[in-house]
Structure 1
């Protein structure tokens, strides 16, 4: 295979990676919606994480392929930059776009992480309050039952 074909494979790989990263951006936006919803849907949250994980796996495979192809053509491209000017320009554009998406995803992930931590803290607090309320209600009912359990001989003494 000649170098131009390898460069085209690298371009195709970056195009695929860009599309996958755009999908991750969409999943992050959906995740933010799930987290901030009035009712937390844990199944939707888990599904979102699972789907995003699959995309990340695909990206890692693309990166491995890209790096192996790059290592094959690196020397020839460095020695003949003028010959491969157009594909190299396209690669630079794609790398820039992928990098921008990567930065955007990192920002989204950080924001979502903070929202999740806040949401889970709120849920733990609500659970703690519910447990405390249940405990107090049980104690109240126990005490109320003790008040109603009086001996019958106290009632019969006043004949």
Structure 2
């Protein structure tokens, strides 16, 4: 009789762990969707950075959307970690009972890692493009300032307000 009681307890524990593993799998699916959205937004940023005219407002909007998604991903990660910590010991005690589900989780995690690497590569490309845009913007500002100074000096010379000596020297001739 004690044996059937143990078997019932083991069944309940297996079911409970199985439910937690399903919850973890659902969390990974949600994370995958969020990562896909982040990738799409990152590609949209890449498109904006490739255009001649930089649309700062749209770019900032994409950054804000990505930030919100990253917060959601972090929450999913925290939930996944908490759930795993609840069942870790039970899984270690009887790994064969959960082998299939664990393999599915591991495959999902590999896929998510690959997606993260793809996002990271796209982000690096974007960073390079962004740095070039900023550099070009600084060059435009520097060029504008130089041209503005040159024009100011020109008008000052024409009005004789920079150095009156040349005006007088010319008059003496």
Secondary structure of the 1:39 match is: coil
Gaps of 5+ in 1: 155-159
Does residue 149 of structure 2 align to residue 132 of structure 1? no
2:159 to 140, 145, 157: 145
Partner of 2:21 in structure 1?
7
Partner of 2:134 in structure 1?
120
Does residue 55 of structure 2 align to residue 44 of structure 1? no
4+ residue runs over 3 A deviation: none
1:106 to 120, 127, 133: 120
Secondary structure of the 2:95 match is: coil
Does residue 88 of structure 2 align to residue 88 of structure 1? no
Between 21-30 and 76-85, report the one with greater CA deviation: 76-85
- In the TM superposition, 1:57-76 aligns within 5 A as 57-76=71-90
Shift of 1:144: 1.3
Q: Render the CA deviation track for 1:59-112: whole Å, top value 9, x for unaligned.
A: 000000000000001111122222112211210111011010111111111111
Between 97-106 and 79-88, report the one with greater CA deviation: 79-88
Q: Which has the higher contact order (CA 8 A, sep 6+)?
A: 1
2-side partners of 1:124 and 1:138: how far apart? 21
- In the TM superposition, 1:10-21 aligns within 5 A as 10-21=24-35
Q: Render the CA deviation track for 1:115-153: whole Å, top value 9, x for unaligned.
A: 111110111001110111011111111111229x989xx
Gaps of 5+ in 2: 1-14
Partner of 1:157 in structure 2?
none
Secondary structure of the 2:146 match is: helix
1-side partners of 2:106 and 2:44: how far apart? 30
Cα RMSD for the two superposed structures: 1.9
